[in-house]
Structure 1
Amino acid sequence: MRDVVCQLIDKMTTQPEPSADTSASSSTLDRCLEVLRGAKSDSEQFAALLLVTKCARAGELDDSTRHKIFDAVGFTFPNRLLFSTSTPDGCPAHLFRSLGVTLLACFCTDPTLAVHPQVLNKIPIFNEIVHTPCAEGSKDYPSMVDDTYQCLVGILASPQGAKHLILGDTVSSLCQAYLNHNHGWEQALQILISLLTLLPAKCWKKSSTDLKRLLTKLTLDFSELEDERKFQLAEILPTFLPPSSIVLESSWGNDCLKYLCNGLFKILSSKLSIAQRDPALKLGACLAHTYGSTWIVAEKRAERARFLALLVNLACVEMRMALEVPEPLESRQAFVTACYSLVEMGIEECTKEERPLLKRDQKLQLIQVMQEACGAVMYYLQQRGWEKIEDPFTLASVRLIGAWLAEETSCLKKEVIGLLPFLVHYMRTWYQRGVACRGLSKEVSQMALLSSKWGAVWPGDAIRFLLPAMCHLSAEEGARRVLLSEGVSALLCDYYLQQWDVFSSEDAEPAETRSAAELSLQSCCGVFLNLVVTEPSIIGQEPCFASLLTHLMKSLPNLDSKDGHMVLLANIVTLGLMMSRLLADAPVMQENFSRDFFSAVIRFLRHSHMASSNSDSNKPSISLSERYADAWEEISELWFLGVQAFSSCVSLLPWLSTLVLESGWLQDLLCLLDQVSPASVGSDMVTVLQALLTELTQNSKPCRELILQRGGLEKANLYGMAALEQCLAELYLTKDPV
């Protein structure tokens, strides 16, 4: 073999000298390629290839030169080199494979060649090379590993390259390369970071076992190391966190969280520079955003509480320094946004009622610190928000304020009311842009989005971040007046109709999107209920409410036929009834239009309770039906308010009493009161049922006769329904028909 190579070199040196306008390296490569094309045997072809690879490494190659090499070499002979099991005497065992990999590395620098099937089918070979330890004394093997990583980087940089590597199980091989500290393990880690950044869920689904081992190793190093590597790990660890809660559900995950907490506590308890502290807080924020406060683990609750308080306090200090100091904020926005996540974790923990981590005095101290930080955010939005509507940082700030106001509206009242005009303007601006975007074709809207500063993030539904806060603020007179003056009722009516379209389009939208829309619909109903109760006069004045009631009446019957939406169903029933009292004379309340709505309302109110046997009593007790039991904590107030509102509608809509009779609700209700023990019926239940029965008695002769026939007077006396008993007695004595 050496003789063949020498002869070929002699042949090349006898070629004419290159012209003055041709570089020496290009001329040499061209002569190598000419020799390659003229090779008459495997030995000559191999020797020529060896010379080509030497020239290829001499400098960077442009696309034209790479294609020249590919046209001269092709894939056939490199394939034979890669799969050859024998080498000439005196040569390394991996000589042929090394040459083949070097050629493929050259090809992979071209994106079109990197995803060629003849390259992609070599992924298993690349995997084998990177996770195989170098043999002692092997000087050339590391060079082959470097070329292999170049192939992997080339594939990764090409369209769909990450998907091919994940499917080819490259993630597992890279994990093993890092864990074994094979040659090039640093490159393995960088490629893993890229793959996990691009397709985290696919990586974990395909290679969860090896990624678990890798994450355990990284977090252990983060906990134990005391040098600069500790801070480097703080920067990259967020990328390696699983996209789901599997860390919280396993022993290995619990170990990882312990290591993370230990490492973070060491960093944040020390005096460090900004460059050292910021990555640690960002890591803590990433954990808080993904897992809430459950990621904070320690043997004692006091240690967990102290660590959480440390994180939130540091985040609040950093927020105030960044937002209150008159210096350019742009370079610190990503870090401040991370601090927002830690404050959200603090808000959640301070409002937790079951098994709280913090004691009362700790909560009060933390609330004070967070209040000052949120005050700084409000000040920033008031000063800069109007001119920075387009800035993603503004959305992050609005989201934090929404989380704060959803739990706390009694503090900073002046600042909150002063900020409301901006918040309504912000919600309206992005809602209107979202509507405009939905009116465009998918391709056009994506192009518009990608050309903006938002990139892949679209704040078109910024309203949802503020809806829980609107529920609280609409119940307070001062804030409610501002919201109404800014037109929030019309905005939320439009938003409700849009979210209903998302919720009801089962085939067009993913389940997660529909679930988020359902929560938004429930929150909207909460705001509307507050307005109906506190500002009844505006319901008949603003046209949006008539449109909303029309939609509620059309949509309820369809929703009633579906399972799993009990909370939304309760909200729509109660809101529709409350609005019906105020709009009883509107065209939408005509029987031929609203009959289906009230039939669905009756079904919801009618089937909530049943009689169940009780061994401690001779008579059954009243209990919840199975369909209502799981959601009763959330819907009980709505149910009682709904029965009360329905009772008020009986006198306003003369045909409603007939519908009650036709549905069998009155009969079932009287039968239920016969069956159960009066002691099992709570006072709230007695109150609303008495109001319903009284209204039916006063407004419908058939209902009154049925109630009297079924022992209404005795039931009224037995259940302490004095008003009903008096009404029945008076009508019975006067025989005055309704």
Structure 2
Amino acid sequence: MSEGSVPDSVRKCIAILKAAESDTEKFAALFMVTKLVKGEDCDTHSKKLLFEAIGFKFLKRLLLSPDVPADCPPLVYKSVALSILSSFCSDAELATHPEMLANIPVFLDIVQQADDDDLDDNLIVVSEAYECLQNIAAHQPGRLALLEVGGVVKMCEIYAQQSFQTDEALNILVTLVGQFGPSAWDTNPKPFHVIVNKIALDFETDHSERKFDLCRMLHALLVSCRRNVIVATANEALWPGSIYKGLSDILTSKLGKAQRDPALKLASIMVELLGVEWCLTDEERPRQFFLLLVQLCSIEVRMQLEDRTLKQIMMNADLMSACFIMLELSIAYIATDTLELEQKEKQQLYTALKGAFSAVVSVLTKVSHDFNKNPNVVDTKEKIFVCAMVRVLSAWLAQETSAMRNSVYTLLPFMLTLANETFYAYRSRRLAEKKQSSDTMETESDVISQVDILRLMLPALCHLAVEEKARKILLEAKEDEVLYECLVYHWSIVHYKKPPVPKSERGKVRKDPELELDPKMLEDMNYSRAAMVSICNIFMNVTVLEAKMVEESMLFATLLKFIFNNLPELKSTPENLVLHGNLAVLGLLLLKQQAKRVKKNDFTICRYIQATIRFLWDAYNVDESTDSSSLVVAISYKKYWLELMELWFLGMQTMSAVLALVPWISEFAIESGWAEGIIDTLHKVRMGSLPANTKSAYEDFLCHLVDANNSVTTVLKEHDALAVCRTHRFMELGKRLFGD
């Protein structure tokens, strides 16, 4: 901008300021500056010239000076300086000026000492200091500067002190945590709990319109928190109870959308952080609030999705995402059967959820049609929202096995396409992180990679793989190939190998490597274990129901080879037991179908069978029973027995079938000592106490073992198998060993 375009009044004022020979003369000129800066003809360039003419050092002297003339109010210098600064701060360039940012601590001190002087005199000063801070916080450099000087903790302290205008501090705090998320907070959870306790108490007790502002503030703070730290310490805080009471007041009242929406968002983040159990804390009517939330979220989903285009729906995407999270977590909790519901309540829940998911399916169907015509019709934000719909629908399909099936079959190819895209993007991002890639540019695939939708679809795919139509769609889409890649990827996480030990450390006593892993890596390992178990279940269903296809499939041959090579390498830890069982039994099912491909000299089969025998052998014993004469599930298996019981019986049954097809595998059962081990154990079990299904599993296996390898007959007889056959009425085994 040329000098000529600066208004005469501004040029005149700049001249006076530059000509001032003392602070007193410059101070007098400030009153003229105040009028100019607030005038319409003073643009950004003019303000910058004025700011530089005044000089921040002079303004800082005014802010910090304790001495004023005898006939002046004590805060006059500070007030004038802040009035000038707040006017300048309205301009982005000046609000982020290095000198302005360098003096943020001065503004913070002013608002922190709000009650040190007379309230009336201090009110204007504090208001203008807040105005400066709010204008600074409106820009990224300003937010960074506030964060660096501990602005988050200071705003927490100011609000907790409850001096006047603390809602301004709260607004600045929300701006900072909204920008920086968990990194805005210190690892010490105390400041977070202090501020949220105070806001939550205000939220509970305030029945004015401010209650809904506080609702939004609480949501922003909870979304930004360091989740692991806060969740671990939340039971010591008061805010979960206060928020429960405050939300109960809102959601049981007749309110409009403007009041209800923030309440649903807050309820959703609370359930996400603290679990559905948080909804059930009312001792008198523990289920009422939970059922109300599910009903309200279901109704909201229908209201927002039915008869609307995706563009229209996106206007309330945040609200819908909150409702989806609430529904997903609620469905998972209901599936645990820990919530005792009356029949009427079950029916009401089912009706509400079915209505919501009918709306989700309808929207996804429309989107899939548009997507098939033109994949670019959906932008990145819309695609992320569509992923959220697929995610919540997958949670429903994992539990509900009959509703809307034909619509789901039609939709399945689109869901798989989207899920596969997110898996490949997620895998690429994680592999790049491992390599510490320097490329930090965020692309669409980076955004899509944040959530692996395929991983979340796996439990639903377990159910769908049982259904003929759905299974046909999966195989036609070659989803089995993607699932194999998914299995291999998650194995790389579960089977984490620590870096080589430096020479200087070798020979020293070292901790279990898993104990040395950070919590995030342990979480990733648990996540990947669960994924592998689900994929194994899908492959088991396909193997059993598409036997002919699996028999000829090179992919399933490769899968079997993967299990042969890797099951023996799986670390023997309690956390890996369920995965061990799934891989072992899937291997047996595949071995049964692919028996003609198996070669006797393949050493990997030997190691695999040994690992599988170990899983089947260790499940039961008598040593851990109370009377030493009952067959009981081993203590190490008991915790996981609900997941392992059917697997164990299927494993025993399939092992018997494999012996008939690949007789030489019987040698491993004999060499391992498993055959006589079964007999020795059953000797100790008292007559009539052996469960019928367990009795049948053991007898069937031993019969097939004898059929496959007659040399085992001698071994069993040496261990007095006759007495076992008599005690437990093993009629078929007795015939094979001792004739009629």
Q: TM-score, normalised by structure 1?
A: 0.81
Label 1:639 to 1:61 Cα distance change in 2 as closer, same or farther (>3 A): farther
Shift of 1:237: 2.9
Aligned to 1:565, the other structure's residue is in SS state helix
What pairs with 1:1-12 in structure 2 (closer than 5 Å)?
A: none
Label 1:471 to 1:590 Cα distance change in 2 as closer, same or farther (>3 A): farther
Aligned to 2:278, the other structure's residue is in SS state coil
Shift of 1:436: 6.6
| Counterpart for residue 347 of structure 1 | 331
| Counterpart for residue 476 of structure 2 | 485
- Distance, in Å, in 1 between the alignment partners of 2:28 and 2:706 is 103
1:188 to 169, 182, 189: 169
1:407 to 376, 385, 399: 399
Label 1:507 to 1:716 Cα distance change in 2 as closer, same or farther (>3 A): same
Aligned to 1:447, the other structure's residue is in SS state coil
Aligned to 1:621, the other structure's residue is in SS state coil
Q: Answer whether contact 1:261 1:296 (CA < 8 A) is retained.
A: no
Label 1:298 to 1:666 Cα distance change in 2 as closer, same or farther (>3 A): closer
- Distance, in Å, in 2 between the alignment partners of 1:56 and 1:664 is 95
- Distance, in Å, in 1 between the alignment partners of 2:389 and 2:358 is 11
Task: Tell me, yes or no, if structure 1 residue 255 matches structure 2 residue 249.
Answer: no
Task: Tell me, yes or no, if structure 1 residue 704 matches structure 2 residue 713.
Answer: yes
Shift of 1:79: 7.5
- Distance, in Å, in 2 between the alignment partners of 1:99 and 1:598 is 85
- Distance, in Å, in 2 between the alignment partners of 1:49 and 1:566 is 78
Q: Answer whether contact 2:264 2:322 (CA < 8 A) is retained.
A: yes
Label 1:626 to 1:22 Cα distance change in 2 as closer, same or farther (>3 A): same
Shift of 1:638: 1.3
- Distance, in Å, in 2 between the alignment partners of 1:340 and 1:66 is 49
Shift of 1:310: 3.3
Letter in 1 for 2:619: S
Letter in 2 for 1:420: L
1:583 to 573, 594, 597: 594
Q: Answer whether contact 2:137 2:172 (CA < 8 A) is retained.
A: no
Letter in 2 for 1:253: W
Residues 665-705 of structure 1 deviation map (CA, whole Å, 9 limit, x = unaligned) = 33433332334445554332222222222233222344322
Shift of 1:546: 1.4
- Distance, in Å, in 2 between the alignment partners of 1:331 and 1:693 is 65
- Distance, in Å, in 1 between the alignment partners of 2:591 and 2:25 is 91
| Counterpart for residue 352 of structure 2 | 369
Shift of 1:561: 3.9
Letter in 1 for 2:342: K
Letter in 2 for 1:447: M
Stretch moving more, 207-216 or 397-406: 207-216
Aligned to 1:329, the other structure's residue is in SS state helix
Shift of 1:612: 2.4
Shift of 1:548: 1.4
Stretch moving more, 49-58 or 204-213: 49-58
Q: Answer whether contact 1:289 1:341 (CA < 8 A) is retained.
A: yes
Q: Answer whether contact 1:101 1:147 (CA < 8 A) is retained.
A: yes
Letter in 2 for 1:704: T
Label 1:539 to 1:34 Cα distance change in 2 as closer, same or farther (>3 A): same
- Distance, in Å, in 2 between the alignment partners of 1:371 and 1:342 is 15
- Distance, in Å, in 1 between the alignment partners of 2:100 and 2:680 is 78
Task: Tell me, yes or no, if structure 1 residue 381 matches structure 2 residue 369.
Answer: no
Task: Tell me, yes or no, if structure 1 residue 265 matches structure 2 residue 265.
Answer: no
Task: Tell me, yes or no, if structure 1 residue 565 matches structure 2 residue 546.
Answer: no
Q: Answer whether contact 1:153 1:191 (CA < 8 A) is retained.
A: no
Shift of 1:556: 1.0
Q: Answer whether contact 1:102 1:144 (CA < 8 A) is retained.
A: no
- Distance, in Å, in 2 between the alignment partners of 1:382 and 1:398 is 11
1:608 to 610, 619, 622: 619
Q: Answer whether contact 1:467 1:523 (CA < 8 A) is retained.
A: yes
What pairs with 1:638-653 in structure 2 (closer than 5 Å)?
A: 638-653=647-662
| Counterpart for residue 321 of structure 1 | 303
Shift of 1:190: 0.9
Letter in 1 for 2:306: E
| Counterpart for residue 506 of structure 2 | none
Stretch moving more, 336-345 or 573-582: 336-345
1:170 to 141, 145, 151: 151
Shift of 1:576: 1.0
Label 1:664 to 1:64 Cα distance change in 2 as closer, same or farther (>3 A): farther
1:499 to 466, 469, 490: 490
Label 1:208 to 1:114 Cα distance change in 2 as closer, same or farther (>3 A): farther
Stretch moving more, 636-645 or 340-349: 340-349
- Distance, in Å, in 2 between the alignment partners of 1:607 and 1:136 is 78
Label 1:138 to 1:586 Cα distance change in 2 as closer, same or farther (>3 A): same
- Distance, in Å, in 2 between the alignment partners of 1:423 and 1:30 is 66
Letter in 2 for 1:686: K
What pairs with 1:290-301 in structure 2 (closer than 5 Å)?
A: 290-297=273-280, 299-301=282-284
Task: Tell me, yes or no, if structure 1 residue 426 matches structure 2 residue 435.
Answer: no
Stretch moving more, 505-514 or 282-291: 505-514
Letter in 2 for 1:135: D
Shift of 1:188: 0.8
Task: Tell me, yes or no, if structure 1 residue 142 matches structure 2 residue 136.
Answer: no
Residues 449-505 of structure 1 deviation map (CA, whole Å, 9 limit, x = unaligned) = 2xx4x8855366211222111111212334333333333322322222233234434
Label 1:64 to 1:650 Cα distance change in 2 as closer, same or farther (>3 A): farther
Residues 247-290 of structure 1 deviation map (CA, whole Å, 9 limit, x = unaligned) = 86246134313322332234xx41x4433333333333333444
Residues 310-361 of structure 1 deviation map (CA, whole Å, 9 limit, x = unaligned) = 33333333323333325643323333333333433553454342243x3221
- Distance, in Å, in 2 between the alignment partners of 1:417 and 1:215 is 46
Q: TM-score, normalised by structure 2?
A: 0.81
1:337 to 318, 321, 334: 321
| Counterpart for residue 8 of structure 1 | none
1:714 to 723, 729, 734: 723
Shift of 1:392: 2.1
Q: Answer whether contact 2:592 2:657 (CA < 8 A) is retained.
A: yes
Q: Answer whether contact 1:114 1:120 (CA < 8 A) is retained.
A: no
Shift of 1:137: 5.5
Shift of 1:367: 0.2
- Distance, in Å, in 1 between the alignment partners of 2:110 and 2:410 is 64
Q: Which ranges of structure 1 fall in alignment gaps of 5 or more residues?
A: 1-17, 734-738
Shift of 1:583: 1.0
Label 1:332 to 1:706 Cα distance change in 2 as closer, same or farther (>3 A): same
Task: Tell me, yes or no, if structure 1 residue 627 matches structure 2 residue 610.
Answer: no
- Distance, in Å, in 2 between the alignment partners of 1:496 and 1:157 is 45
Who wins on radius of gyration, i.e. which is larger?
A: 1
| Counterpart for residue 136 of structure 2 | 154
Number of matched residues?
696
Stretch moving more, 371-380 or 475-484: 475-484
Residues 99-121 of structure 1 deviation map (CA, whole Å, 9 limit, x = unaligned) = 88789876997789969799669
What pairs with 1:635-714 in structure 2 (closer than 5 Å)?
A: 635-714=644-723
Task: Tell me, yes or no, if structure 1 residue 475 matches structure 2 residue 466.
Answer: yes
Q: Answer whether contact 2:543 2:590 (CA < 8 A) is retained.
A: yes
2:604 to 593, 600, 617: 593
Task: Tell me, yes or no, if structure 1 residue 574 matches structure 2 residue 547.
Answer: no
Q: Answer whether contact 1:468 1:523 (CA < 8 A) is retained.
A: yes
Q: Answer whether contact 2:193 2:237 (CA < 8 A) is retained.
A: no
Amino-acid identity (%): 23
Label 1:445 to 1:512 Cα distance change in 2 as closer, same or farther (>3 A): farther
Aligned to 1:182, the other structure's residue is in SS state coil
Q: Answer whether contact 2:16 2:29 (CA < 8 A) is retained.
A: yes
Letter in 2 for 1:249: N
Label 1:729 to 1:132 Cα distance change in 2 as closer, same or farther (>3 A): same
Q: Answer whether contact 2:269 2:322 (CA < 8 A) is retained.
A: yes
Shift of 1:386: 3.9
- Distance, in Å, in 1 between the alignment partners of 2:101 and 2:24 is 20
2:541 to 530, 535, 538: 530
- Distance, in Å, in 2 between the alignment partners of 1:81 and 1:473 is 73
